[in-house]
Amino acid sequence: MTFVQIIDFETERLDEMQQLLQEAGERSAGKPGGPKYRMLLQDRDNPRRYLALIEFDSYEEAMRNSDDPETGKLAQQLGALCIGERVYTNCDVLEKGEIK
């Protein structure tokens, strides 16, 4: 079952975060088990608040990715650029599709 993790965070250093994510994506390109899709949303009412949606093939793949030392290092670097704590929400995808 497809799995999505939602990370709710605040930052005033989004450009630095995006650079770290781009570099991490380049290092992990072609590795099996990593994220399949990501989406970044910005809160219109609080422009320093963001929601990152990260999609994996399964919960198990997400947990393997989470256990990777490179993922831990990246999470620590990103956390240092955040204001306050990040909130993680773990979701199984029950339905997905385009509306026509």
For residue 89, the SS3 value is strand
Look up the pTM and report it: 0.88
- 5-19: buried (b, 16+ CB within 10 Å) or exposed (e) per residue? bebebebeeeeebee
Residue 24: pLDDT band (50, 70, 90) is confident
d(CA 82, CA 12) in angstroms, rounded, equals 8
Q: With a cut of 80, say whether residue 30 has pLDDT above it.
A: no
- Cα 54 to chain centroid distance, Å, stands at 4
Residue 12: pLDDT band (50, 70, 90) is very high
* CA distance to 1, 52, 55, 95, per residue, from 98 (Å): 18, 20, 16, 10
Residue 99, token pair as written in the block: 């509306």
